[in-house]
Structures are given as structure tokens and as C-alpha cells.
Structure 1
Amino acid sequence: MAELSDQLVTFAILAYLVAMISHAVEYALGNARAVSAKAPARELVGAGVGAPGDTVTAPAAPTADEVRTARTARRAELAGRIAAGVTVVAAAIHLGAVVTRGIAADRMPWGNMYEFVLTVTWIGTAAWLAVLAKRPSLRRLGLFLSLVMVLLLAFAELKLYVEVVPLMPALQSYWFIIHVSTIIFASGIFLLGIVPAVTFLMRNGYEQGRRSFPYTLARRLPAAAGLERLTFTLHAFSFPIFTFSVIAGAIWAEAAWGRAWGWDPKETWAFISWVVYAGYLHARATPSVKRNVATWIAVLGFLTVLMNLFGVNFFFSGLHSYAGVE
């Protein structure tokens, strides 16, 4: 089962890569749309039928440019549909990797950094597919989501991988499932939330007339207002879960170590993340704060999550040193 899990992770990375390439093709084909509805109609004079002067209207033949535009639009639509379909396949393979890892370990597969990243990324993908099912118009965001999945899974496989081992004694508690499952779920939604946040900043800059580096990508993104609303919705949904997870961790710490809070590096960075995300939600609810300023705070919040996940485990030591890597 452990070997199968490893193979499934590799196949999942390849599937996400195919999805990313398909999304890139959709982007490359641009915003082509058939415009035959705008073509002028021709009037054909009736010959011997009906009253004198009767005419019959017929659509004008499409021009060469219109034919090319329609063909390009069909190809872009096909590439986007393929990307979405392959993402579903990748998510199924990804889930298989998580499940088989858990079966091999005979526990929930969250005992080290490799397993944590594996599960968080799947949550992000599953949440993205739920968003895509409800709002297909946001499909082009899949380019960025699949890119994030490829990078994180490849990093986990190359740098974080460890053999399956039993759960260490300090984690053998029912609080392990309560605390870690909620922090994984919240982190997965935050991971998805960074995609519309960054693309909103790109698209908003384009709509404001700024010609920055991501201009070509930005002009083909969905409208900035919709991206900003999605960013807020995801963060507003995830923040209470993240808050509960921090509280659950403190209760577990009280039971395991005799104190609820000890300013351990991971505890400290979790608190920093909580403060930053609370600041984002407060800024978002404050009319005088511009939406792009509030969104930058959300981006900062995700950077603190990355610091808590990678930086603390690699550069600090403490009671939460469960990374499983040297």
C-alpha cells in the first residue's frame, strides 16, 4: 500500500501537469468568440412569389475572420473542458494516494509534513472542483490552481518524503483527529483562497489601466469584482474552522503538556496567521479600506501559513517538531 501510494502521487503530479498545460492552451487561444450574430443580413427579392416587392432575409455568409474566430473559440472551449476533466481525474488519483498511505500506516495519514501537504493539497483541489461546479465561468483559474498543485506535490515528493512509520506517542490521542483534521481543512481552503486573491490583484491592476508584467494573463481573467468576492467567501468560510483548530490545539496542549499555550514556534506562528486573517476580514468589512489593500493582507496571511508549515519545521525546534525530515 505504501508503494502504491507513492506511485499514485507521481501519477497525480503528471495529471495536474496535463491539466495545467490544457489550461495554458485555453489561455493561449484567448477570448475568441463567434460573432456570426453580428453579421449583416442580406435581402433576397422574391421572384414570382407573394406580392410584388416581397423580400426574404438571409444571413450573410461568415467572413474568413469570423470562421477563424469561431474555430479558435471551439478549440479554447475544448481545451478548458479537457483541463477540468483531467483535474477531476487528478483529484481521484490524489485521493487514492492519501487513502492508501493511511491504510499502509494503519492510522490517519497526517503524522508528518509529507502526509500533511499531501492531504492539504487534496482539500484545495476538492474545494476548487466544488467552486468550478457552481461557477464554471471561473474555469481559467484552474491554470493557477494546477500550477500550485504541481509545485507543492513535487516538493513534497522530492524534499519531504519519509517512509511510513507508526504515529509517535505524543500524537496518539483523539485530539489528533480533531485538531489536525480541522487545521488541514482550513489550510486547504486558504490554499485555494490565495488563487482568486492573486488573480484579483492582477485583474484589478489591468482594469485600472496598469500595464504590469502579468498584463497578458490579467486581461483574460474573469472580472475583478467576482474574483474579490470569491476570495472573501473562501476566507470567511475557512477562518472560523481555523479558529476552532487553534482552540482545539490549546485544549490538547493542556491535556498533553499541562499548559494551554507556551509560545512554541508553531503556536506563535499559528497565532500570527490568525491575527493576519482576522485583520483581512476586518479590513474587508471596513468601507474605507480599498479592496486591493484588504486582499494584500489575505496574501500576507497565506505567507504566514507557509512559514508555519515549512519555515517553522525546517528552521526551528519545539514541541511541534513532527516534520519527519532532517
Structure 2
Amino acid sequence: MNLAAATNASLAEMSNVLIYSSMAVYTLAFLAHIAEWVFGSRSKVGRTAAALTPSRTAAAPQVAAQAGGTAVLDRPKVVTRSAAGSRDVPDGPGAAAGDVQGDLYGRIAVSLTTLAFLVEAAGVVTRAVAVQRAPWGNMYEFSTTFSTVAVGAYLGFLLAKKDIRWMGLPLVTTVLLDLGIATTWLYTDSDQLVPALHSYWLWIHVSTAIFCGAVFYLGAVATLLYLFRDSYESKLAGGGSPGGFARSVLERLPAAASLDKFAYRINAAIFPLWTFTIVAGAIWAGDAWGRYWGWDAKEVWSFITWVAYAAYLHARATAGWKGRKAAYIALIAFGCFLFNYYGVNIFVTSKHSYAGV
């Protein structure tokens, strides 16, 4: 083994250590997020929601007095319901925590998530140096880069003063699952790629696909939480009484309308880039295989994903399909993206199978 090969093997091993180290830190962040949800005071959440209720409404959330004069939320009353199907209800505090103790756990969780992100990003960069190419030439590398970009996007929203700390727990949970699958079943030793992949389009096409998927993921989380929160608000509007677990979790989230708007804006903003991803892939296919489109499984499912998100955006622009119906389409669209990645790469024979697992 020559010196260069030994150096590359050493860097590849260092990359593996960094990825495993990031998983350890993500686990600590996961526990901190759990503590944030468990120890956050619901009474403070109720006071926050009451303070955010528009003063022009006559129907404020019902507040009951406890011993000692502390006000707590009895039921966050729905104020109005618009023609589009959304309700004029106040947002929860955004993060899970409502008191000083809960907020402290939340800040610790975000700090640990940031540290884990930096360690994982270092692992991705080290892998790139080891293989001397873009670090997304197989499913293992794609998965580690994907989770890094997803966490980076989340932290970017926080840095931009967007209160989406409520997404921290599902995000970290998913990242741990993604990295667990990557390191257990998808791991591939560092190696060079087949000749068809030696192109600058590897940097352009695959990097945009990773970025689009990571942001689509954030939109899918918001959409799923919207469905739960919308059901919660509907039950309250009908005079029902949700269970204690539902109240302790869902009343801390933003209102359903806020979650729906957040998901829509993310999906609408990233859709043009997904369109570019498909076009870039077609151009690369023309250079590598002599044809721009051959109805390969990966090409077909990329197009199906595009159609699904286009249908979602159209549904959001159509009055009769706003709300839950559009949300279902958004989740189906993200499901198509996931199948395009896992299903096509693992179970379907296609020209893209050279990526391997």
C-alpha cells in the first residue's frame, strides 16, 4: 500500500469515527429535547397562549384559578373559523418549553444539536477528502450528507429568528434513525466511482437533490404536525376534551394555520429547485449515456415526485383543496421522494444501481 492509499484509508476511518461521535451527541440532544417536553410548564404555556389571543375577540381561552392565584389554561378556545378552513387561534410558544427549566433544557438541546451537526459535517468533509470527490457517491454517503443538510437547514431557520424549536425532537429522532440505517445496512467502504459519475454534474445534480430532499423533509414534518394540531383544534371547536397527552403536546405547538403556512412556504420555495434537479439529471444523462430521458426507474420516480408536489401546490391554490386534503398530497409527495431514494436504489434494477448500498 502506497502512502497516498494509507492516508486515504486513515481519513476514511476518521470520517467513520466522526459520524459515530455525532450520533452520540445527537442522542444527548434527543434526551435534552425529551426533558424539554416533559418538564416544560403547561401553566406557562397557557398564559403565553392567552397573551397571544387577539384582544378584539370576545372569546378568550378559558382560564381557571388554582390555589395561590396562579392562572392556568383550561381550554384554548377556538375563536373563529375562516372560509378556507383555518382557525383564528393563538400559537403556542413555538418551543416545547414554557418555563425557565423547560427553556433551559431546550437551549441545551439546540446547543447539542449544533455540536452534533458540526461533528457530522466534519465527518462528511473528511470522507470527501479521503475519496477525493463529492461525498455522495453511494447511499451511505448520501444519507450522512442528507441528515447533515437537514439539521443545517433547521439551525439556519433558528439563526434567522424563526421559532421552529418545536421541530427539534422529530428532527433529531429522524436523524438518528437515518444515521443508524446508514452505518448499519448502507455502509460502503470509501472507493472511487464508475467512469459515468466522474463529472462536475455529480456536484451540481446530486447536491441539489440532497438539499431539496432535506428541505422537503422539514415541510413534511410541519405538515404531519399540522394534521395532528388541526384534529386537536377541531375537537376543541366541537366541545370535545382531548386527552392529557394530546393537550400536553399539541397545545404547545403553533396553531394549525401557522404550521400549514410554514409547510406551504417551504415546499413552494424549494419546488423550482427540484425542477432544476430533474433537468440537471437529464443533461447529465445525455452526457453519460447519450440520451436525456430513458424512463429509467430513478428518472420516473423523480418525475412522479415532481408531479405530486405540483399537485400539492395546485391544491393549495384551489379553495376547495386547502387544508387537510392538500396536506395529504404533500405527505404522499414526500413519500414518493423517499421511495425514489430507498425503494428504487435497493429494490429496483436501474441504471442508477451502480451507486450500490
TM-score, normalised by the number of residues in structure 1: 0.85
1:190 to 195, 216, 219: 216
Q: Name the CA distance, whole Å, in 2 between partners of 1:138 and 1:205.
A: 20
Following superposition, the deviation at residue 101 of structure 1 comes to 0.6
Q: Name the CA distance, whole Å, in 2 between partners of 1:155 and 1:266.
A: 21
What is the 5 A alignment of 1:207-246?
207-209=233-235, 211=242, 215=246, 216-246=248-278
Indicate the residue corresponding to 2:102 in structure 1. Answer: 76
- Contact 2:134/2:202 (<8 A) preserved: no
What is the 5 A alignment of 1:295-306?
295-306=327-338
Q: Aligned AA for 1:207? A: E
Indicate the residue corresponding to 2:31 in structure 1. Answer: 21
Supply the RMSD in Å over aligned alpha carbons.
Answer: 2.6
Q: Aligned AA for 1:29? A: F
What is the 5 A alignment of 1:29-68?
29-30=39-40, 31-33=42-44, 66=70
Q: Aligned AA for 2:171? A: L
Q: Name the CA distance, whole Å, in 2 between partners of 1:3 and 1:93.
A: 14
1:284 maps to 2:326: no
Q: Aligned AA for 2:300? A: T
Q: Aligned AA for 1:276? A: A
2:149 to 123, 131, 134: 123
Following superposition, the deviation at residue 72 of structure 1 comes to 7.7
Indicate the residue corresponding to 2:285 in structure 1. Answer: 253
1:312 maps to 2:344: yes
Indicate the residue corresponding to 1:165 in structure 2. Answer: 191
- Number of equivalent positions: 300
How much identity, in percent, do the aligned residues show?
42
Following superposition, the deviation at residue 238 of structure 1 comes to 1.3
SS for the counterpart of 1:160 is coil
- Contact 1:121/1:149 (<8 A) preserved: yes
1:148 maps to 2:174: yes
Q: Name the CA distance, whole Å, in 2 between partners of 1:102 and 1:32.
A: 49
- Gapped runs of 5+ residues in structure 1? 38-61
Counterparts in 2 of 1:214 and 1:184: CA distance versus 1, 3 Å: farther
Q: Aligned AA for 2:314? A: H
Counterparts in 2 of 1:212 and 1:306: CA distance versus 1, 3 Å: farther
Q: Name the CA distance, whole Å, in 1 between partners of 2:186 and 2:69.
A: 52
1:10 maps to 2:36: no
Q: Aligned AA for 1:186? A: C
Compare CA radii of gyration and give the structure with the larger one: 1
1:111 maps to 2:137: yes
Q: Name the CA distance, whole Å, in 2 between partners of 1:102 and 1:212.
A: 49
SS for the counterpart of 1:221 is coil
- Gapped runs of 5+ residues in structure 2? 1-10, 49-65, 72-96, 237-241
